[in-house]
Structure 1
Amino acid sequence: MKNVFWNLFGCLLLVGCTQVSSDLAVPGVSKKLAEHRKITVSDLKYDLKFVIPGHRNNPVEGEVGISFRLPQKEDVILDFREDAEKIREVKVNGVSSAYRFENEHLLIPAQETVAGENRLSIIFRAGDQSLNRNEDYLYTLLVPDRARTLFPCFDQPDLKARFTLSLEVPSGWEAVSNAPLKESMEKNGRMKIVFAETEPLSTYLFSFVTGNFQRESFAEEGRHISVYHRETELQKQKQLPEIARQVFAALKWMEAYTAIPYPFAKYDLVILPGFQFGGMEHTGATLYNDKRMFLPEHPTVNEELGRAELIAHETAHMWFGDYVTMKWFDDVWTKEVFANYFAARMVEPLFPAVNHKLSALKGFYPAAYSEDRTAGSNAIKQELGNLNNAGLIYGQIVYNKAPVVMQMLVERMGEERFREGIRNYLKSYAYSNADWGNLIQILDRYTPEDLTTWSRVWVNEKGMPEIAVKREKEQVWLMQKDPFGRDICWPQHVGILLVKGDSSRILDVNLNERMTKLSGVDDFDYILPGYAGKGYGYFRPDTASLKWCLGHIREFTDPLARMSAVMILNENRIQGQVQPADFLNALLTCLPFEENPLLYSSLLSYVVSTVRNSVVSEKDIRRTEEVLLGLSRKGEQGEQRLGAFRALLNIFRTPECTAEVYRIWEKQKPFEALLLSEADYRKMAYELAVRLPEKAREIIAVQENRITNPDRQREFQYIARAVNPEETVRDSLFRSLLKAENRRIEPWTCSVLRYLNHPLRQKQALKYIRPSLEILQEIQRTGDIFFPKNWVSSCLDGHRSIQAADSVRIFLEEHPDYPSLLKNKILQSADPLFRFANRQAN
């Protein structure tokens, strides 16, 4: 009778309410749930409070007030990916709630809500996963769906909210968040710090950092920024004014391009040791990796460009990503493409002596090809049903293929019309959300081109075309082939070099069909498609043209043409059309004469990848070592010497070369004008410990004593365990990485995994492959967005054997229903291994 009464009472209460089907409350944040909440939840605000203890093992207590409007009484589903026990109290509109906790969600019953404004008050214990806690500092990193691991919230990008935050931290700690400091007070050895309200932000952009940091402030033309860091070396601290100058320059450039003033209250940055990414674009508290920001005393052009592009990238995100945000993470590329595309342009005035077209070709294409050529290739825009897989959307296709496609779009529209369209887009969706379709609809107004049809192939389809030259009697055709057999044609302009004797001619071919006839070219001896970086794909010249190209790289006087020739040869090496020994010989012949620093570094990277990914003879190894050692001694510039020596450290094998590297490391007396940094000596110590096991403990002990910065010493101690000469010790270390608490600092963990799977220890490391793959789904669940791919790559990059390839293939065969996004990461990482094994088997 009692149950009947309460069931009837419950039904009466539900009159005038809307109940949300429980199938929305599945683990993660489903697209269906997100779409429902977007329709019903509005005027969202979070008022957050966290109590940060002095010891990292003590829990962080939190409280959040969430206010929002509903059109009618209905169930409310909040996201919280933590144990139910961490919820201490929930009140709805001032009354204790009869909430349920189910599948990572807090479910508030409809009868507790009202039509109009609602207020939730939740006391909880914060999750640790995204707090990144260290002994004397911590930082949050909540992209893409990790806000729900920290506090209960509506964790989806298109429910923007205003945040207020107060922190209680140990006395003496600094604190920085999205908004400016409002007030702070000290009492009983603790600091209470209150921040002002933010502009509308997506949950993944909310952030705070607190701990022992140094703070330096800079000003330019009335604008102020602060830099928080932990660096102790004076040489690195002296770089802070230049870092600030580049931030100011990037802000100024973006304001001029968009005609929109910086849309947030402040721009502060925090430089962190062991940070998982290069940077993260939190408004007012942008995070940066210390190795990318603090350069060696004598940085290379690549290092200087890299830092400036990183700063520009994160600054561009303030407009593209923060001010206008994608609706759903399947369109995450729409923020990354603008960040990388505009970053490449923003650094141009900072480095007037650099060939920036060459820099873009070198920066975007090889990285994009590294994934696009594989069986794990994915479209720029991928299907995403649940945010718990959003981290797997990221990759080289998003970061590097997308800017190539964006440049094609600009060329189709024209620069001025593109700029007008972008300004319209930003104004139309200010502090709101948009998807690629919204952008294309706006850009379509500024051009007669059919952008929708064009983008369908380039954005929504995976892979890249194979573009081959075919001669038939007196006719020459450019053939476009889809490697996935879908009969797709990628419309694009392709540059073609025609050579006859000592004369040459260049064509620009508009490739719109699968077969394009080239008129009047049949009497040319050699035909090279993809010339000067014009066109995207695997370009396959005929055998004679490939052979000619191998012998004439130095004769391409234009650096852009020279770079594209090397890229074409490398792709054909990978595809088995060029012998590795021939390509390596061509590279080593060109290296001593290459004067362009960007091209020189690319030649070195191709030398390393060819040696590591191919079967090369002992004679070829010795010649490679001799050339690189010779350039380390007598390169025309210090940067050339340094680049050659760093390349050498990745491939040296012979006893003679090992003895020379050991001498340099032990005496700390490199060749004249070879300006080595502490990082170079750490790298030498790791590599020498692998090659000289009898001296490994001594090498590690000596190098550790040379390091003075406590954060870098901690990093060295963590990584050096992987070069221990005892296999049982390394086995124990590997097993420890299978526990999440032992892999908290992801870049360091990947370094450990790489040394455990070092190319010179492949046989002993075969046993690590299977368990590394078996734990990959757990790695995805507990790690940040780049960790799954980096974990697999760190394990597989050192392996080149049929047995290693079989380990991966058998795992995939035994898991036919393995999640496709994660499977792609395995296929991308294993591609060089599979190709090596296939060549060995054949």
Structure 2
Amino acid sequence: MVCRVLVVISLLLSLVSCEKEQDKVEDGVSLELAKERKANIGGVTYKLYFSIPADRSEAIMAESTIFFELFDLVPVILDFKEAKENILAVTSSDGRKVPYTFKNEHIIIQPEHLKKGRNELVIQFKAGESSLNRSDDMLYTLLVPDRCRTLMPCFDQPDIKARFKLTLKIPSRWRAVANGEPVRTEYFNDYKLYEFEETKPLSTYLFAFTVGRFSYVERYVGGRWIGIYHRETDTSKINASIPVIAREVSHALDWMENYTGIRYPFDVYNVVAIPDFQYGGMEHPGAVYYRASTMFLDRNADLSAWMKRSDVIAHETAHMWFGDYVTMRWFNDVWLKEVFAGFMSDKIMTQLYPDVNHRLNFFLNHYEPALRTDRTKGTHPILQELDNLKDAGTLYGDIIYHKAPIVMRMLEREISERRLQIGLQRYLRRWSYSNADWDELIKLLESTTGQDLQAWNEIWIKESGAPVIEFQKNGIVMTDESGKNRVWPQAVSVFWDYMGLKRTLIPLRDSLTPFRYGAAVVLPDGDVMGYGCFLPTDFSIRFLDDELGNLNDPLYRAVAWQALYEGVLHKKVKGEFFLKLCIKHLPQEKNNLVVNRTLSFLKIIYSTYLDEGSRQLIQDDLERFCINMVNNKAEGKNKKSYFNTLLSICSSPKSCSYLSSVLKGEQDLPEDVTINEQDKISIAFNLVLRDTSVYEDTKAYIMRTVKNKDLLDRFEYVYPSLSGDKQVRDSVFNALLVRENRVNEVWVEECLRWLNHPRRRMEAEGYVPKLLGALQEIQQTGDIFFPGSWLSAGLAGHTSKNVYTMVNSFLEKHANYPQNLKLKILSNSDHLRRLHSEEENRDRLK
């Protein structure tokens, strides 16, 4: 009798436990679920098989054998964001069927079908394809941050690391690359089998493979083999780029090994150059993805293009240690892997380009990109909150990629370069092939240095926003626009004129810092110890108009242009004046990095911050300026920058005729200006936008003269968005709202930019409500940067009060809208706020 009671009680407790597990399971991966799984599951290995047919309409059949240790006998919950029908069978190691429940994107297996200790489950399934970027002759996985569960059943959280043993069946003419090294390849009539070596422990978001028609080359550099998979067809680009890519990967690996004191922690390094890849790069060990157009450059590429390639190689390589070897515990700390990848890449670049002003490069790489979000109402702290991994993609953006490196450089100055290096070496050794969070690292740095870093941590890491800094009669004033009266401790450079140009460094520790030398110009410190929106006064505007060319350090010329641009955004400087300053001062500017950043400001001001009358008044001067710089005045590598600026601003028949002649090869250009196939397509798009009567002829010309298949595929997808027929453009926009038509997000973004181009902004206003309405689905179905790109491409071209009202109305009607997406809307519509908020306030006061 007692035994029966005990059995009944045991069954009841088991049922209660199961019900609790069922209640706890929600879509995505909740923080609660992740913590419980981490406490109970370890030693995971995935033995995987995928059969990939040549016909992309056919399903990909797959099998996963999952080995894991179970510490307590509790239900096991696997993540699988696909239909239940995709699960074909779940069995044990001896072939017995294992019962399971499928609920809210999870496979739930009860304790009675498991055992304490080592378990083995075999799952046959149809692979999910929402994160398989699949075209006719290529397929690549992209599983960051929580997309492994869209491909296969798994424990999809960064702190349950696993080993992956992969076998792929692919068409016989394709190649395959994955995290591990190929250990066996078998050839059959119409397919072949690749078997890859088991990996070191990896987080699920780092699992990757790519298959398709690729060329493959390898180079032996610095005592190691570097493999390069690519689809480039331009032999001059291939010959110019392959040696440089291999050399720079090897250099980055050597530098990281020296800095960390740890050998490259993975077995193989392959570069995979993917046409129109969604990101600049992705750090999968063994199969590092890069955007092909960044990697393969023509012989006349300018310094900015070379440095962009070097920077992304250094960044992704640094991730092998910071992010892959040691990974954040939860994606709220995603900034932690990004900040050190960016921080290390800046250091690597210093050795790679000894003749470049790297203080300048750091400023240009991070300062304006950080403020692009931090000066808006859509800003957020570096360290963010995250309750569910399904929302992890919304955490990515300019703050973690650009403000975080600025802040980390401040920390390095605070505790010393050597102490930071020692602390990071301890961090990597302590959590090798494992996980750690920011709190653990900051405590380790405090123990290494003996310094209390909590006040610094609070204002720079856990608080959002940037101060506004300007010179007033009584000194240097720091303002917190949020109204919280916060102070960001930092140092700034002050220029003043007393018997010659003087500069001094002044620390700011309060909202008012007296300055006794009279009127002055306050700018961020050249070593980027200062950060904020530095506003010019009437005196500083006159001063820079006269003295900008006399600032010998190109860094301070870049800082001055940044301050003037900030003045335009804050309505302290007129847009027309800024453009006239460009025409006046840029002919004397030799530095390619300063030229490119200033021209980017010029293009934004021209399209966004000038009214139509002002634009027409300065149009001829700007076009003439650009053409003269291309043909005569600019330094060799700068000529292409001015050509691309002309492409953006051209309007007159004369400039369009000039560009048409360039497209057809009828216009003589300086030898420093090379027009490649990508350039031809860009010229074609811009010409058709301005004169739709040439639509068909231009299309025929491009189809006849461009040979690269990937470029032609992109051209055919994007081209209808330039049609002169609004019904055609409407149909393109409506097609983009359908998920199946958004396979290539880079192409989608380009379509949106042309559909909402400033020249079409009036006709495109009707797209805005649907654009905003689709954002949640875009976040749920797209890759991590896509929500921001979707908004930027759709809103950047608009300047009307009507669109500003649409955005505000949308936010008012959706009071409970997801906070991170709301912030992205506010950030990407900030130009509308700056154009119309004062007018709106005046209307309210009437």
Q: Equivalences for 1:168-317 in 2 at 5 Å?
A: 168-238=169-239, 239-317=241-319
Cα offset, 1:20, TM superposition: 5.0
Cα offset, 1:467, TM superposition: 1.7
Cα offset, 1:836, TM superposition: 2.2
Q: Is the 8 A contact 1:530 1:564 kept in 2?
A: yes
3-state SS, counterpart of residue 89 of structure 1: strand
Of 619-628 and 43-52, more deviation after overlay is shown by 619-628
Cα offset, 1:329, TM superposition: 0.7
Q: Which residue does the alignment assign to 2:652?
A: 654
Of 478-487 and 594-603, more deviation after overlay is shown by 478-487
The 1:786–1:204 alpha-carbon spacing in structure 2 relative to 1, beyond 3 Å, is same
Cα offset, 1:143, TM superposition: 0.2
Among 346, 361, 364, the alignment partner of 1:362 is: 364
Pairing 1:629–2:627 present:
yes
Q: Which residue does the alignment assign to 2:524?
A: 530
The 1:121–1:352 alpha-carbon spacing in structure 2 relative to 1, beyond 3 Å, is same
Cα offset, 1:720, TM superposition: 1.2
The 1:394–1:287 alpha-carbon spacing in structure 2 relative to 1, beyond 3 Å, is same
3-state SS, counterpart of residue 607 of structure 1: helix
3-state SS, counterpart of residue 461 of structure 2: helix
Pairing 1:504–2:501 present:
yes
Q: Which residue does the alignment assign to 1:694?
A: 693
Cα offset, 1:480, TM superposition: 1.9
Q: Is the 8 A contact 1:179 1:196 kept in 2?
A: yes
Cα offset, 1:478, TM superposition: 2.4
The amino acid of 1:549's aligned partner reads L
Mapped to 2, the partners of 1:732 and 1:135 lie a distance apart of: 24
Deviations 1:472-507 (A, max 9, x none): xxxx3322222212222212222222333x423333
The 1:9–1:50 alpha-carbon spacing in structure 2 relative to 1, beyond 3 Å, is farther
Cα offset, 1:638, TM superposition: 2.5
Among 540, 543, 555, the alignment partner of 1:545 is: 540
Q: Which residue does the alignment assign to 2:641?
A: 643
3-state SS, counterpart of residue 269 of structure 2: coil
Q: Is the 8 A contact 2:186 2:194 kept in 1?
A: yes
Pairing 1:66–2:66 present:
yes
Cα offset, 1:110, TM superposition: 1.9
Of 655-664 and 756-765, more deviation after overlay is shown by 655-664
Q: Equivalences for 1:402-417 in 2 at 5 Å?
A: 402-417=404-419
Mapped to 1, the partners of 2:305 and 2:155 lie a distance apart of: 39
Q: Which residue does the alignment assign to 1:422?
A: 424
Q: Is the 8 A contact 2:180 2:286 kept in 1?
A: yes
Q: Which residue does the alignment assign to 2:767?
A: 768
Q: Which residue does the alignment assign to 2:577?
A: 582
Mapped to 2, the partners of 1:840 and 1:81 lie a distance apart of: 47
Q: Is the 8 A contact 2:495 2:502 kept in 1?
A: yes
Q: Which residue does the alignment assign to 2:149?
A: 148
Mapped to 1, the partners of 2:197 and 2:674 lie a distance apart of: 47
The amino acid of 2:23's aligned partner reads D
Pairing 1:816–2:815 present:
yes
Q: Equivalences for 1:711-722 in 2 at 5 Å?
A: 711-722=710-721
The 1:690–1:541 alpha-carbon spacing in structure 2 relative to 1, beyond 3 Å, is closer
TM normalised by structure 1 equals 0.96
Q: Which residue does the alignment assign to 2:510?
A: 513
Q: Equivalences for 1:366-765 in 2 at 5 Å?
A: 366-471=368-473, 476-500=474-498, 502-518=499-515, 521=516, 523-532=517-526, 533-615=528-610, 616-673=614-671, 674-765=673-764
Cα offset, 1:670, TM superposition: 4.0
Deviations 1:652-694 (A, max 9, x none): 2223322222232234424333332222221110011011111
Q: Is the 8 A contact 1:65 1:121 kept in 2?
A: yes
Deviations 1:400-425 (A, max 9, x none): 11110110011001111111111111
Q: Is the 8 A contact 1:686 1:700 kept in 2?
A: no
Q: Is the 8 A contact 1:19 1:110 kept in 2?
A: no
Deviations 1:120-172 (A, max 9, x none): 11111110111111111101000000000000000000000111111111112
3-state SS, counterpart of residue 445 of structure 1: helix
Mapped to 2, the partners of 1:567 and 1:36 lie a distance apart of: 49
Q: Equivalences for 1:106-145 in 2 at 5 Å?
A: 106-145=107-146
Deviations 1:609-666 (A, max 9, x none): 1101112342222211111111111134222221111011111222332222223223
The amino acid of 1:751's aligned partner reads E
Mapped to 2, the partners of 1:718 and 1:237 lie a distance apart of: 26
Q: Is the 8 A contact 1:496 1:507 kept in 2?
A: yes
Moved over 4 A (4+): 7-10, 15-20, 839-842
3-state SS, counterpart of residue 355 of structure 2: coil
3-state SS, counterpart of residue 808 of structure 2: helix
Return 5+ residue gaps in structure 1 as ranges: none
3-state SS, counterpart of residue 320 of structure 2: coil
Q: Is the 8 A contact 2:415 2:449 kept in 1?
A: yes
The 1:123–1:644 alpha-carbon spacing in structure 2 relative to 1, beyond 3 Å, is same
Mapped to 2, the partners of 1:68 and 1:285 lie a distance apart of: 25
Deviations 1:8-51 (A, max 9, x none): 59817939988753333110111111111111111111111111
Of 348-357 and 298-307, more deviation after overlay is shown by 348-357
Q: Equivalences for 1:321-332 in 2 at 5 Å?
A: 321-332=323-334
The amino acid of 2:113's aligned partner reads E
The 1:830–1:17 alpha-carbon spacing in structure 2 relative to 1, beyond 3 Å, is closer
Mapped to 2, the partners of 1:525 and 1:793 lie a distance apart of: 39
Q: Is the 8 A contact 2:68 2:120 kept in 1?
A: yes
Q: Is the 8 A contact 2:492 2:522 kept in 1?
A: no
Mapped to 2, the partners of 1:15 and 1:809 lie a distance apart of: 49
Cα offset, 1:188, TM superposition: 4.1
Mapped to 2, the partners of 1:788 and 1:93 lie a distance apart of: 42
Mapped to 1, the partners of 2:571 and 2:815 lie a distance apart of: 29
Pairing 1:158–2:156 present:
no
Mapped to 2, the partners of 1:411 and 1:315 lie a distance apart of: 24
Mapped to 1, the partners of 2:579 and 2:48 lie a distance apart of: 58
3-state SS, counterpart of residue 215 of structure 1: strand
Mapped to 2, the partners of 1:227 and 1:597 lie a distance apart of: 29
The amino acid of 1:170's aligned partner reads P
Return 5+ residue gaps in structure 2 as ranges: none
Pairing 1:31–2:28 present:
no
Deviations 1:561-595 (A, max 9, x none): 11111111111110111111112211221111101
Mapped to 2, the partners of 1:676 and 1:594 lie a distance apart of: 24
Of 89-98 and 401-410, more deviation after overlay is shown by 89-98
Of 829-838 and 454-463, more deviation after overlay is shown by 829-838
Matched pairs, number: 830
Mapped to 1, the partners of 2:718 and 2:704 lie a distance apart of: 15
The 1:765–1:17 alpha-carbon spacing in structure 2 relative to 1, beyond 3 Å, is closer
3-state SS, counterpart of residue 132 of structure 2: coil
3-state SS, counterpart of residue 507 of structure 1: strand
Give the CA RMSD over aligned residues.
Answer: 1.9
Mapped to 2, the partners of 1:230 and 1:623 lie a distance apart of: 42
Q: Is the 8 A contact 1:20 1:74 kept in 2?
A: no
Mapped to 1, the partners of 2:521 and 2:282 lie a distance apart of: 44
The amino acid of 2:52's aligned partner reads I
